[in-house]
């Protein structure tokens, strides 16, 4: 697990399915276990941080979707679309059928995001590079302007409320529901993170990543790169959808801001900050991002964007592997025998 | 739709298209030469507008004639190009030409984030408005429709002059030919003695000046708010991508298409006005993946 970023570079050219699983001996894997335990302890040990972690995990799931696409060398500047569609799907469902179970809201959101991903994906998988990014942007902006302008249905810029759903049939108060969401997010983070790592190592995932290294060879093998890209695109849309609907339930209100292009760019930003292509990096990046955003906006007022922008520049120029890359090199230095991945 | 409304929509569209074209021209020039899609272009546009309003307000407060607003627009645009554009290329972009497209985009996005806060720190969040340049030129009546000369004649005129000027510059002057040569094949150009670094710096400054000029020219027609750069960058992206990246004449036609589409939508279906540019972009790119005027790139195996 710890070597996933290193592996990905060689994995795409020499597929070694099954080699990227949990390596408990490496100290970095141990760190992840400690990290997850720490995250689970947050609501008890430091309740004031609970909301920060909730938002970070929800956003991290969206970032995971962007990370998937980065593995194919594609960057989408419109993935907030799926984040937003899922949240709105959840909100509309709650408005139509009050006291729906939160699992149903989650599933509805993911279905909404995946269907939208299929519709948009069928178009955009024909494009690569900047055009891929810009077409995604265009679709997200279309949805954004629909949300803004058709306020009879969408509430316009104020958005709509996402009423608190029931949990397995019982209505919950605010605090308890927050806890349910929190541990649900932890479970989703572990489950979907694990699934995504497995998916990268699966045959479909390997084909998908070959789009980055050598797309023409895929065609020579008789495989449709479009179909390979579409499979990853659907996964990324679904992951963004999970993040979006969880975020909507955590915030209790859904606004067009969810879909605004700066949010999409932010997700790409977090993915690169954490370590482009790394599953753990997506969540680590989201946590750092939310923390900087929260504390910088309290202590540094108007300049939090500037701080984050500077942070991003430093990462890209001096630590292109992102936070995960920094962590890995630290561990490699202290424990050199685990560095056999390359 | 009667004649008056038709004319109004037409004039709105042309005036708007002229502004978008000027900004998109800088964006597509930078992309064509340096292969970088500069997200910070929108910030340069906004800063151009802010600078113009501040300078104009200062000059008017000193008691000078409002006609000075016009040279001040050019001054602001050049300031934006030299004070922000130059250092941006020299200290930052120069280091990332060998990086992947994604990272280049993100570097300019980081610059965009930083510049957004710089604007907020320098100019605050309250809107600015100064239409002295608009009033100096007065109005004109066309078939009973009164419109400002500034928007109906000056803006399109500047856009056309810039389009023709850029064509002439790139094809018939030595500097322009050096830029074209570097665009075609950087290594070959360097091997015959072209200083590619200098060409890139110069191109980026020109592009930044155009962004600043777009903002400066837009400043009398709209109130200047935080976030105006973000709106403009997305729109000029749409123009540039629809035209085909690096296509200057194409950008002019696409800007006109998108400008007219948007203004007619404002009068006919107001809900769709924001949608139109993106719809046009999606439809065009679905039919012609390289943009209206782009040519498919040769495949490398």
Report CB contact under 8 Å: A305, B114: yes
User: How high is the pLDDT of residue B186?
Assistant: 80
pTM listed for this prediction: 0.82
Residue B291 scores a pLDDT above 80: no
Average of per-residue pLDDT across A241-264? 90
State which residue of chain A sits closest to B289, comparing Cα positions: A127
In contact, B119 and B47? CB cutoff 8 Å: yes
User: How high is the pLDDT of residue A79?
Assistant: 92
User: How high is the pLDDT of residue A241?
Assistant: 95
Distances (CA, A) of B215 to A58, A94, B131, B195, B232: 37, 44, 13, 31, 9
Nearest 10 degrees: CA dihedral of B35, A9, B106, A80? 120
Average of per-residue pLDDT across B237-245? 83
State which residue of chain B sits closest to A75, comparing Cα positions: B102
Q: Which of A263, A274, A305 to mutate to test the interface with B (most CBs of B within 10 A)?
A: A305
User: How high is the pLDDT of residue B272?
Assistant: 77
User: How high is the pLDDT of residue A66?
Assistant: 93
User: How high is the pLDDT of residue B44?
Assistant: 93
User: How high is the pLDDT of residue A107?
Assistant: 94
Report CB contact under 8 Å: A130, B37: yes
A37 in contact with B, Cβ within 8 Å: no
State which residue of chain A sits closest to B300, comparing Cα positions: A216
Comparing B300 with B156, the larger pLDDT belongs to B156
User: How high is the pLDDT of residue A65?
Assistant: 93
User: How high is the pLDDT of residue A169?
Assistant: 77
Q: Give the pLDDT band of residue B299 (cuts 50, 70, 90).
A: very low
Enter the tokens of residue A5. Answer: 């970023």
Comparing B57 with A20, the larger pLDDT belongs to B57
Give the number of A-B residue pairs with CB atoms closer than 8 Å. Answer: 121
Each residue's pLDDT tens digit, B249-268: 888 989 999 899 988 888 88
Each residue's pLDDT tens digit, A71-111: 888 888 889 999 999 999 999 998 888 878 889 999 999 99
Longest Cα–Cα distance of chain A, Å, equals 62
How far away is chain B from the Cα of A294, in angstroms, using its nearest Cα?
16
Report CB contact under 8 Å: A145, B278: yes
User: How high is the pLDDT of residue A1?
Assistant: 39
Percentage of chain B exceeding pLDDT 90: 14
A265 in contact with B, Cβ within 8 Å: yes
User: How high is the pLDDT of residue B300?
Assistant: 42
Nearest CB to A134 within list B95, B237, B271: B237
Each residue's pLDDT tens digit, B78-94: 988 899 888 888 888 88
Q: Give the pLDDT band of residue A62 (cuts 50, 70, 90).
A: very high
User: How high is the pLDDT of residue A336?
Assistant: 61
Enter the tokens of residue A128. Answer: 């690569």
Q: Give the pLDDT band of residue A26 (cuts 50, 70, 90).
A: low
Distances (CA, A) of B243 to B203, B213, B258, B295: 20, 21, 11, 11
Percentage of chain B exceeding pLDDT 70: 97
Q: Quick one: which H or E segment has residue B139? A: strand B139-142
Buried b / exposed e across B50-83, counting CB within 10 Å, b at 16+? bbbbbbbeebeeeeeebebbbebbebbbbbbbee
A contacts of B113 (beta carbons < 8 Å)? 305-306, 308-309, 312
Comparing A280 with A10, the larger pLDDT belongs to A280
Residue A192 scores a pLDDT above 60: yes
Comparing A5 with B228, the larger pLDDT belongs to B228
Cα B264 to Cα A131: distance, rounded to the nearest angstrom: 27
Enter the tokens of residue A275. Answer: 């370590």
Report CB contact under 8 Å: A150, B278: no
Q: Give the pLDDT band of residue A244 (cuts 50, 70, 90).
A: very high
Residue A11 scores a pLDDT above 50: no
**Residues with Cβ within 8 Å of residue B295, at least 6 apart in sequence:** B244
Comparing B81 with B146, the larger pLDDT belongs to B81
Each residue's pLDDT tens digit, B36-75: 888 899 999 999 999 988 888 888 888 787 777 888 888 8
Comparing A335 with A69, the larger pLDDT belongs to A69
Tell me which range, A112-121, B83-92, B135-144, B198-207, is most confidently predicted by mean pLDDT.
Answer: A112-121
The DSSP string of A233-276 is HHHHHHHHHHHHHHHHHHHSEE-GGGT-HHHHHHHHHHHHHHHT
Average of per-residue pLDDT across A34-40? 86
On average, the pLDDT of chain A sits at 83
Nearest CB to B286 within list A123, A149, A276: A123
Residue A17 scores a pLDDT above 50: no
User: How high is the pLDDT of residue A246?
Assistant: 93
Comparing A202 with A170, the larger pLDDT belongs to A202
How far away is chain B from the Cα of A117, in angstroms, using its nearest Cα?
16
Report CB contact under 8 Å: A310, B241: no
Tokens 């604007």 belong to residue: B119
User: How high is the pLDDT of residue A58?
Assistant: 93
Nearest 10 degrees: CA dihedral of A159, A160, A161, A165? -120
């Amino acid at each position: 697990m710890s070597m996933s970023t290193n592996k990905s570079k060689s994995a795409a050219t020499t597929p070694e399915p099954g080699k990227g699983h949990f390596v408990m001996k490496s100290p970095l894997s141990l760190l992840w276990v400690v990290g997850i335990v720490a995250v689970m302890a947050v609501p008890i040990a430091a309740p004031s941080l609970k909301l920060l972690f909730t938002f970070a995990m929800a956003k991290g799931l969206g970032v995971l979707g962007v990370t998937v696409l980065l593995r194919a060398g594609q960057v989408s500047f419109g993935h907030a679309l799926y984040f937003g569609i899922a949240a709105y799907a959840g909100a509309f469902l709650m408005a139509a059928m009050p006291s729906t179970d939160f699992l149903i809201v989650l599933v509805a959101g993911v279905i909404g995001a995946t269907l939208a991903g299929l519709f948009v994906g069928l178009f955009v998988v024909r494009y690569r590079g900047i055009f891929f990014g810009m077409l995604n942007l265009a679709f997200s902006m279309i949805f954004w302007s629909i949300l803004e302008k058709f306020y009879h249905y969408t509430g316009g810029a104020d958005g709509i409320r996402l009423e608190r759903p029931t949990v397995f049939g019982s209505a919950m108060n605010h605090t308890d529901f927050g806890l349910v969401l929190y541990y649900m997010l932890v479970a989703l983070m572990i489950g979907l993170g694990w699934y995504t790592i497995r998916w990268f190592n699966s045959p479909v995932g390997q084909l998908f990543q070959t789009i980055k290294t050598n797309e023409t060879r895929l065609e020579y093998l008789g495989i449709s790169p479009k179909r390979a890209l579409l499979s990853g695109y659907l996964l990324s849309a679904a992951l963004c959808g999970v993040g979006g609907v969880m975020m909507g339930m955590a915030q209790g209100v859904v606004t067009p801001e969810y879909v605004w292009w700066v949010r999409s760019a932010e997700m790409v930003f977090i993915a690169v900050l954490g370590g482009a292509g790394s599953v753990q990096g997506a969540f680590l990046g989201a946590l750092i991002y939310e923390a900087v955003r929260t504390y910088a906006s309290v202590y540094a007022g108007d300049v939090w964007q500037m701080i984050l922008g500077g942070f991003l520049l430093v990462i890209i120029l001096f630590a292109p592997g992102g936070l995960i890359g920094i962590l890995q090199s630290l561990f490699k230095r202290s424990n050199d025998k685990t560095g056999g991945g390359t | 739709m009667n004649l008056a409304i038709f004319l109004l929509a037409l004039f709105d569209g042309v005036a708007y298209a002229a502004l978008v074209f000027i900004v998109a021209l800088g964006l597509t020039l930078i992309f064509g030469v340096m292969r970088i899609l500069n997200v910070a272009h929108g910030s340069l546009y906004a800063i151009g507008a802010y600078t113009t309003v501040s300078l104009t307000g200062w000059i008017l407060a000193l008691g000078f004639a409002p006609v000075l607003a016009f040279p001040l627009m050019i001054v602001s645009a050049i300031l934006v190009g030299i004070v922000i554009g130059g250092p941006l290329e020299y200290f930052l972009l120069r280091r990332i030409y060998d990086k992947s497209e994604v990272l280049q985009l993100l570097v300019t996005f980081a610059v965009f984030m930083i510049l957004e806060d710089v604007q907020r720190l320098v100019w605050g969040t309250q809107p600015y408005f100064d239409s002295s340049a608009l009033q100096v030129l007065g109005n004109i009546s066309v078939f009973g429709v009164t419109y400002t000369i500034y928007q109906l004649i000056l803006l399109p005129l500047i856009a056309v002059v810039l389009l023709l000027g850029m064509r002439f510059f790139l094809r018939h002057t030595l500097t322009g030919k050096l830029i074209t040569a570097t665009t075609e094949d950087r290594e070959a150009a360097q091997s015959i003695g072209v200083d590619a670094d200098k060409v890139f710096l110069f191109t980026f400054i020109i592009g930044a000046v155009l962004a600043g000029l777009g903002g400066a020219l837009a400043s009398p027609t709209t109130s200047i708010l935080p976030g105006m750069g973000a709106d403009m960058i997305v729109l000029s992206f749409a123009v540039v991508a629809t035209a085909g990246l690096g296509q200057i004449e194409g950008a002019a036609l696409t800007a006109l298409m998108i400008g007219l589409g948007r203004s007619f939508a404002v009068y006919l279906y107001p809900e769709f006005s924001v949608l139109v540019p993106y719809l046009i972009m999606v439809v065009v790119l679905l039919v012609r993946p390289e943009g209206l005027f782009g040519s498919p790139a040769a495949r490398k195996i």
